[in-house]
Amino acid sequence: MSWKRWLFGRRELTLALACVAVAAVFQFLSPYFLTPDNLITILRNSVELLLVSLGITFVLATAGIDIAVGGALGICAIFVGWSVQGGWPFVLVVLIGPLVGTALGLVSAFLIVQGKIPPIIATLGLFGVYRAAIFLLLGGSWISGLPDALGPAVNTTIAGIPLTAIYILFFYFIGWIVIRWVPLGIAIRATGGNERAARLSGVSIGRTKFFVYGFTGLLVGFAAFLYVARYRNVETSTGGLIALDAIVASVLGGTSVLGGKANLLGAMFGVLLVRLLQNGFVLIGVPSLWEQVITGALLIAVLILDALTERSHAQSRPRQRGNAQRGLATQ
Amino acid sequence: MISAFKQIRFGGLLVLWLIALVIFAVFAPDFFTPANFNSVLQFSTLLALVTLGQTLVVLSGGGGIDLSVGGIVSLSGLVIAALMKTGVPAFIAAPAGVLCGGVLGSINGFIITRLRLLPLIVTLGTYYAYNGLALALTGGAPISGLPVSFGLLGQNSILAIPLHTLVLVVPVFLVMQFTLNQTPLGRWIYAVGSNEKAARLVGLPVDMIRVGVYTLSGVLAALAGLMADSWLLSARPNIGDNLELLSLTATLLGGTSIFGGSGGLGGSLAAVLFFTSLQVGLQMLNVNSIWQLGLVGIFLIGSVLLDRMIRTAETK
């Protein structure tokens, strides 16, 4: 029992083991899987998702959800693309994505806090609006063939460490500080755990939510900057499925959709596992059209597994059963 | 006072509809022809069936929402077409497809009730799984070339009213409306939606009702898939795209509360008619369909905001 709890009680460890197991299976099926080239490809493809998942982890921790991030990423990417085309100063090119992203995040927060609209409805509505806006802004044609002005921002390495890895570590470090060491972090978890109790104990729910959605927007905006720097074009499908991928990664990472919990390291491993799976299935010859099915099924599977383990935990500790039942009744 | 506000809501919908009609009358005079009336109803069938299911799901509370309906429409439509292509007669293929929709819907229901998971996250997962399956199984290509006789329901009209509106949408609506308002089962759905704890305490089978509601939503989505097949004589893997957004918006615009327990089917159907005339009208004005998506998003947010405002006004 104790070794099991030690091994499976820590989400990051379980996930790391899962990553190794998945990698082993794919290596068995396709010798190309564990080559340095492919591993670098997987890590590179994880960059934007890592940023968005960090934001989504915060959002989920407040018992919220944001499915408009894909559309927001597309809009931010368009602005970044325009700024490159317009030859803006580098600082502005870097800042425009996060600025637009933060503004869009604050729009979500405004609807959720001031309009008291459930997050799923607000962000589903915005998702439709953003999709339309992307078509409108692009006018039906892609932004493509951008000059490689932003290349250095993603291709540079410092002492052998890629700059993109430093961005990721920087943002996750900030996230960790916020969630672990700053009163705001407690406010975030308290809001998700029990919003009414948090309000009664003096937490400013509105401010907390504004921060969470705004921060997510900022990360989405920076992800858009990295996207444009890497691919040097913006198409109408930019951002596409990233909302689902990010939710899956966060939930895989041990963040509950019911709020109150945030696991940043877990989210990182969650992203890795999602991208490993997506890459591996393509390598063994599964058409990429299956990606949606696999990711959706993964989400359902994790939710079911989590619910089942939680239930068996509750049953193995009879003294806490009363609490568990009361908890259910109040939901 | 309360009824006055309720009237404002329905009146508001009516006013929106009239405004839309006036705009179309000025800019697209062809809008008011029997042929176009026919095409409005044609379009509305899919959305109407799906919205009726969505309304029950939202009504039954517990954060009820079904984001997977579009995928079920596409998938069951494909199942029916694929079966018919292998030589299965229509009277077997059609029920098989509807059964498939019921199973897909009940998967949602069982996961949500058994494991006490949030409907929005579960159906978000199945949204991608079902939509993805529809795309992946067909490689994105439609299954076409269904026998012309299969178009009987989907392509014929009586007095400019499409046959499927008469034999499917209207009866389904009447039966559901009757069940919801005149039978104990209907009362139960409202009870479960407005106070789950009380419903459990008086011994209502809350979980069974919820599973039933999600299953019904799946069945209705499958009927929509069937109608799409019959209308187009082919099954498209993306025929259900955006139906979750549209049906949810129609449900909420029609006055059903997102928190469950209050609202009804009549408002939803009115909202569907409003939407489809908007859709057809905008098409006649040559407005890109992507605009409609944005407009629907605004309506979705707007209708919840409006609901909020009405509620706070009521309590004052």
* Residue of B296, B250, B295 lying closest to B273 (CA atoms): B250
Neighbours of A328 (CB within 10 A): 10
ipTM of the complex: 0.83
CA distance, residue B290 to nearest chain A CA (Å): 5
CB within 8 A of A89, min separation 6: which ones?
Answer: none
Of B140, B197, B305, which is closest to A329 when you measure between CB atoms?
A: B197
- Binary contact (A292, B116; C-beta < 8 A): no
Q: Which two tokens stand for residue A57?
A: 């982890």
Which conformational region is residue A250 in: left (phi greater than 0), alpha (psi within -120 to 50 degrees), or beta? alpha
* Residue of B49, B95, B111 lying closest to B240 (CA atoms): B49
- Binary contact (B121, A257; C-beta < 8 A): yes
Residues of B in contact with A241 (CB under 8 A): 128
- Binary contact (B300, A65; C-beta < 8 A): no
* Residue of A152, A143, A13, A11 lying closest to A79 (CA atoms): A143
Over residues B213-270, the pLDDT tens digits come to 999 999 999 999 999 888 888 888 888 888 888 899 899 888 888 888 888 888 888 8
Cβ pair B304, B3 in contact under 8 A: no
* Residue of B42, B114, B56, B40 lying closest to B268 (CA atoms): B56
Residues of A in contact with B295 (CB under 8 A): 132
- Give the E-state strand segments of B222-296 in sequence order: 234-235
Give the span between the Cα atoms of B13 and A277, in whole angstroms.
Answer: 47
- Binary contact (B294, A131; C-beta < 8 A): yes
CB within 8 A of A243, min separation 6: which ones?
Answer: A52, A56, A66, A67, A68, A69, A70, A127
Q: What is the mean pLDDT of residues B54-82?
A: 91
Neighbours of B228 (CB within 10 A): 23
User: What ranges do the domains of chain B cover?
Assistant: 48-240
Residue at B169: amino acid letter: V
HSE of A160, CA atoms in CB hemisphere, 13 A? 0
Give the span between the Cα atoms of A70 and A76, in whole angstroms.
Answer: 10
pTM for the predicted model, two decimal places: 0.86
- Binary contact (B111, A300; C-beta < 8 A): yes
Give the span between the Cα atoms of B53 and B215, in whole angstroms.
Answer: 9
- Confidence (pLDDT) at A232: 84
CA distance, residue A87 to nearest chain B CA (Å): 30
N- to C-terminal Cα separation, chain B? 10
CA distance, residue A60 to nearest chain B CA (Å): 11
Task: Give the CATH superfamily of B48-240.
Answer: ABC transporter involved in vitamin B12 uptake, BtuC (1.10.3470.10)
Q: Which two tokens stand for residue B221?
A: 């989505």
DSSP at B150? G
Cβ pair B40, B276 in contact under 8 A: yes
Give the span between the Cα atoms of B169 and B193, in whole angstroms.
Answer: 25
Of B116, B140, B308, which is closest to A115 when you measure between CB atoms?
A: B308
- Binary contact (B301, A117; C-beta < 8 A): yes
For an interface test with B, which of A129, A286, A326, A330 has the most B Cβ atoms less than 10 Å from its Cβ?
A129
Neighbours of B223 (CB within 10 A): 26
Question: A161 phi and psi, to 5 degrees?
Answer: -100, 125
3-state secondary structure of A289: helix
At what angle are helices B265-284 and B289-315 packed, to 10 degrees?
150
Query: What DSSP element (H or E) covers A176?
Result: helix A163-181
Query: What DSSP element (H or E) covers B278?
Result: helix B265-284
**Choices 1.25.40, 1.10.3470, 1.10.260, 1.10.20: CATH for A14-314:** 1.10.3470
Which conformational region is residue B145 in: left (phi greater than 0), alpha (psi within -120 to 50 degrees), or beta? left
HSE of A251, CA atoms in CB hemisphere, 13 A? 30
Over residues B70-128, the pLDDT tens digits come to 999 999 999 999 998 888 888 888 999 999 999 999 999 999 998 888 898 899 899 98
Q: Which two tokens stand for residue B223?
A: 């009927």
Give the span between the Cα atoms of B303 and B255, in whole angstroms.
Answer: 8
Give the span between the Cα atoms of A125 and B297, in whole angstroms.
Answer: 4
Residues forming a β-bridge with B161: B158
- Binary contact (A289, B124; C-beta < 8 A): no
User: What ranges do the domains of chain A cover?
Assistant: 14-314
CA distance, residue B201 to nearest chain A CA (Å): 11
Query: What DSSP element (H or E) covers B179?
Result: helix B170-182
Give the span between the Cα atoms of B168 and B20, in whole angstroms.
Answer: 27
Residues of A in contact with B128 (CB under 8 A): 241, 244, 292-293, 295-296, 299
Residues of B in contact with A132 (CB under 8 A): 290-291, 293-295, 297
Query: pLDDT at residue B2 above 70?
Result: no
CA distance, residue A300 to nearest chain B CA (Å): 6
Q: What is the mean pLDDT of residues B291-296?
A: 83
Over residues B133-180, the pLDDT tens digits come to 998 888 878 888 888 777 777 677 777 677 777 788 889 999 998 998
- Binary contact (A121, B301; C-beta < 8 A): yes
- Confidence (pLDDT) at B40: 72
The ranges of chain A with pLDDT < 70 are 1-9, 140, 315-331
Q: Which two tokens stand for residue A251?
A: 């939930």
- Binary contact (A125, B121; C-beta < 8 A): no
CA distance, residue B126 to nearest chain A CA (Å): 6
Residues of B in contact with A297 (CB under 8 A): 125, 129
Report CA torsion sign: A250, B298, A209, A326.
negative
3-state secondary structure of B158: strand
CA distance, residue B261 to nearest chain A CA (Å): 16
Q: Which residue of chain B is at minimal alpha-carbon distance from A294?
A: B129
Over residues B170-229, the pLDDT tens digits come to 899 999 989 988 898 988 999 888 888 888 888 888 889 999 999 999 999 999 999 988
Q: Which residue of chain B is at minimal alpha-carbon distance from A328?
A: B116
Residues forming a β-bridge with A234: A143
* Residue of A193, A226, A190, A232 lying closest to A207 (CA atoms): A190
Question: B235 phi and psi, to 5 degrees?
Answer: -110, 120
3-state secondary structure of B68: coil
Residues of B in contact with A255 (CB under 8 A): none
Q: What is the mean pLDDT of residues B277-303?
A: 81
Q: Which two tokens stand for residue B42?
A: 């044609």
Q: Which residue of chain A is at minimal alpha-carbon distance from B294?
A: A129
Q: How far is CA A290 from CA A28, A287, A297, A300, B104, in A?
A: 21, 6, 11, 16, 18
Strands A157-158 and B157-158: unpaired
At what angle are helices A163-181 and A183-193 packed, to 10 degrees?
70
Residues of B in contact with A331 (CB under 8 A): 116
Q: Which two tokens stand for residue B228?
A: 């799409």
- Confidence (pLDDT) at A234: 85
